[in-house]
Amino acid sequence: MKHTDNATLIPQRTFINLSTPELVDIALARHEGTLAANQALNVNTGARTGRSPKDRFIVKDTLTEKSIDWNTINQPIAPEIFSQLLQKAKNYLTQKEATFISYLKVGAEEKFSLNVKVVTELAWHAIFTKNLFIQPSPPITQDTENQWTILCVPNFKTDPIRDGVNSDAAVILNFTERYILICGTHYAGEMKKAMFSVLNFLLTEHEILPMHCAANIGDDGKTALFFGLSGTGKTTLSADPERHLIGDDEHGWSAEGVFNFEGGCYAKCIDLSKEREPMIWDAIRYGTIMENVVLDQHTNEPNYADTTHTQNTRAAYPRDYIDGKVDANKGALPNAVLFLTCDLYGVLPPVARLTKEQAAYYFLSGYTALVGSTEVGQGSGITQTFSTCFGAPFFPRPAQVYADLLIKRLEHSGADVYLVNTGWSGGAYGQGGKRFSIPTTRSVVSAIVNGSLANAEYETLSGFNLSIPKIMHDVDSHILNPKKMWQDQAAYEENKKILMEKFIKNFEKFKVSDAIKNAGPKL
């Protein structure tokens, strides 16, 4: 459906559960965005084209004082400061011509789902949450008991001195009041990741492992999980025409199976092509929100290669736009778990099978790269990082809580775990190495999910002590051992040593068993 050209803003303060076409019409009438040639609503988020981690806080009170891993990511803020800022935001919103309320939920497993009331200043933000969160059935039309509330007022700027925050923006989670306040930022991903953080805190009490991962299912009913940071392949590799998608980013793993937290996908658009990522390409249409994508000034065609605004260009669309999705939005216990790492040093293999202890080690390490970072201030380059649990900014509890749950779930399910390198080979990034092609990585993933790698013949990669296959179908055996891809063997050994030292240094902060510590690299 396309928008109606004569759309006008209805003179009414509060709009509840408007349909996507109604919201698109209002967004266009208020000049919040532009319809691209593919009919998606393209918006610009201004200076903040990613999350603002330095502006994210958690209210420190009797509920959270001893249960949060307080650090530079989980920054504490006093309840009084939150209450004062919340009142200012509410007062600000009463002066606006319109307020948009959507009653949604997160969590596809009913007994673990949360009702969420989303209150937004902008119509396109309401579309975003309708796309990314789950539509209740039957619809919810009023406040419910124990619901969470998101109040998003991007044009209300905070003052560090006056408001007790760090800048002109703030994202504050209050677990006691079940409230999320977002001020001063138009980047819609803050709403999505704030609710993710909420679930990551709450679900561990039910022995559910919350995961920053994608999930899909084959025709054989076998579930696969894809852990990784943004830009390392979660969405691209899970959007497989040969398999059925559960979700692309946030899931829970219980004793019964895997379930999606969301009702949509938030795909990166950088260098998107129909040939390489057909499912994502086809999902970007009317009702989809595109963030910061550059449009041709004459035709309004998206230029996905243009990074004028940011490398972190995005498309938010509902799961209904995906052919072959899993209708139930959940699946059975996983058979395969993939840790997607993007190695800038070119010394990790394209795939390695991990023991249970190695799985815990690499899960806690979360070694990868920031590729077109989702965080403001990271620039446009690619940098190496260690992100605990492959999503450090979103996990409020101590890391060991999540690692213990991972081991418990692996022991219960018997799933095989693999480290899959989507990064560089034959040399380091910027020093002659080349990134593994998507077809090569897809062949690796296919061998994992179809079970053929479980029976392959393996050898040990020295130093990292990783088990790597000697031969794989549809993959040049020469690339399976990273050492063989380097012409300069001395440079390979030097880069390997540098990365191993970084792993060892990073892991010093974890208090874990000797078995897990010894599962890492050894100089």
Q: Where are the domains of the chain?
A: 14-206, 209-264+328-517, 265-318
Cβ neighbours for 154, distance < 8 A, ≥ 6 positions apart: 121, 122, 125, 182, 183, 184, 185, 186
* pLDDT score of 513: 87
Class at the top of the CATH hierarchy for domain 209-264+328-517: alpha beta
Cα 134 to Cα 262: distance, rounded to the nearest angstrom: 6
Task: Please give the Cα distance from 392 to 120 (Å, whole number).
Answer: 27
Reference 185, options 165, 170, 163; nearest CA is: 170
- The Cα 212–Cα 253 span in angstroms is 11
Determine the pLDDT at residue 1.
Answer: 39
Predicted pLDDT at 34? 98
Question: How many whole angstroms separate alpha carbon 284 and alpha carbon 231?
Answer: 18
pLDDT at 10: 45
- Candidates 3.40.449.10, 1.10.10.10, 3.50.50.60, 2.40.50.220; correct CATH number of 14-206? 3.40.449.10
Are 30 and 96 in contact by the 8 Å Cβ rule? The answer is: no
Query: What is the Cα–Cα distance from 487 to 509, expressed in whole angstroms?
Result: 36
Element (H, E) at 444: helix 438-449
- In this predicted model, what pLDDT tens digit does every residue of 501-518 receive, in sequence order? 999 999 999 988 899 999
Is the Cβ–Cβ distance between 441 and 233 less than 8 Å?
A: yes
DSSP H or E run through 181: strand 179-183
The residues of the chain scoring below 70 in pLDDT are 1-12, 372-381
Structure tokens at 36: 């691209």
Chain segment 306-318, per-residue pLDDT in tens:
999 999 999 999 9
Spatial separation of the C-alpha atoms in residues 148 and 119, rounded to whole Å: 11
DSSP 311: S
Closest CA to 353 of 228, 247, 451: 451
Gap between the Cα atoms of 310 and 294, Å rounded: 10
CA distances from 138 to 141, 235, 246 (A): 9, 29, 21
Q: Catalytic residue numbers? A: 51, 193, 212, 230, 234-235, 249, 314
Q: What is the pLDDT of residue 273?
A: 95
Q: What is the rounded distance in angstroms from the CA atom of residue 337 to the CA atom of residue 226?
A: 6
Please tell me the predicted confidence (pLDDT) of residue 370.
77
Q: Which CATH number fits domain 265-318: 1.10.10.10, 2.170.8.10, 2.40.50.140, 1.20.120.1780?
A: 2.170.8.10
pLDDT for res 53: 95
Tell me whether the omega of the peptide bond preceding residue 241 falls within 30 degrees of 0, making it cis: no
Task: Give the C-alpha separation, 439 to 276, whole Å.
Answer: 8
Whether the CB-CB separation of 134 and 104 falls below 8 Å is answered with yes
The pLDDT assigned to 381 comes to: 63
Task: Name the burial class of residue 39, with classes exposed (0-12), middle (13-18) and buried (19+) by CB atoms within 10 angstroms of its CB.
Answer: middle
pLDDT at 234: 86
Which residues is 216 bridged to in the sheet?
Answer: 224, 245
Phi and psi at residue 99, in whole multiples of 5°? Answer: -130, 140
Would you say 470 and 353 are in contact if contact means Cβ atoms under 8 Å apart?
Answer: no
Which amino acid, 496?
K
Strands (E), 408-465: 416-421, 424-425, 434-435, 458-461
At 150 the three-state DSSP class reads strand
Q: What is the rounded CA–CA span in Å between residue 520 and residue 256?
A: 30
Q: How far apart are CA 413 and CA 354, in angstroms?
A: 15
CA distance 43 to 315: 10
